[in-house]
Structure 1
Amino acid sequence: MTNWLLVIAGAVVGAPLRYLTDRAVQSRHDTVFPWGTFAVNVTGSLILGVLSGAATAGAASPHLQLLIGTGLCGALTTYSTFSYETLRLAQDGAGFYAVVNVVGSVAAGLGAAFTGAAIGEAVWG
């Protein structure tokens, strides 16, 4: 399969999954904090970490990396929405939530990626 078709196939799953997950998570929280975006970004970081760990162990082909890493995770996660929602929080006077969103998202995303990589290497290494 051509590389760009793998990316598209992953994105076809990742984009609606992002939207549906965001809406489902956000509907369960009565707060201005963007829990839906937080959840998809941390989940995507975990998936990409597992994939990276598997790749390091030689268990993830370049095609799988394109399908899952670039396609699925690229469409599932969203830096632009994270940035926009942080800006919106700050502009709406919720500066504390804006700072928590930035610090929490970066810390949780990195933590998920490192944890995922360790899991991927442990399982397939």
Structure 2
Amino acid sequence: MTPWVFIALAVTGGMGAVGRFLVDGAIGRRFQTTFPWATFSINVSGSFALGLLTALAAGHLVSTEWALILGTGFLGGYTTFSTNSYETLRLLNEKRYVASLANALGTLLASVAAAALGFWLGTVIS
């Protein structure tokens, strides 16, 4: 890894984290429920973007370095598996079993479907 790729990873990772913070705040203000819609939306949209980016890189429309920088850096900072896990456990602790299961399985299924959709779209574009 070259020094500029390392620096770009660090910078875009920080930008992704800031993006997550802003999106989380915007969704949280709009939908004030105990279900973690913000984290759900962030993880699904990030999965879509990573699927799209992966297909664009496979089709040589995005370089390997930029795929690494944007995928690992920005999208790695943007998405958040740890928050999803915490929120699933929080819902369990509150005895909201259906919401907890919906959060855990719903995020998994929706994220994989979004990644597949993004990958498909990227192959169409490529």
Give TM class, smaller chain. Answer: over 0.9
Taking only the aligned residue pairs, the percentage that are identical comes to 36
Q: What is residue 10 of structure 1 aligned with on the other side? A: 12
Give aligned pairs, total: 124
Q: What is residue 42 of structure 1 aligned with on the other side? A: 44
Distance 1:51 1:118 in 2: 11
Distance 1:5 1:12 in 2: 11
Q: Does 1:90 align with 2:99?
A: no
Amino acid at match of 1:96: V
Q: Normalising by structure 1, what TM-score?
A: 0.94
Q: What is residue 57 of structure 1 aligned with on the other side? A: 59
List structure 1 runs of 4+ shifted beyond 4 angstroms: none
Structure 1 gap ranges (5+): none
Structure 2 gap ranges (5+): none
Distance 1:58 1:117 in 2: 14
Cα pair 1:50 1:117 within 8 Å, conserved: yes
Q: What is residue 116 of structure 2 aligned with on the other side? A: 114
Q: Normalising by structure 2, what TM-score?
A: 0.93
**Pairs within 5 Å for 1:23-38:** 23-38=25-40
Indicate the larger mover: 37-46 or 4-13.
Answer: 4-13
Structure 1 residue 58 displacement after superposition = 1.5
Distance 1:83 1:50 in 2: 25
Structure 1 residue 107 displacement after superposition = 0.8
Distance 1:4 1:30 in 2: 38
Q: CA RMSD in A?
A: 1.1
Amino acid at match of 2:20: R
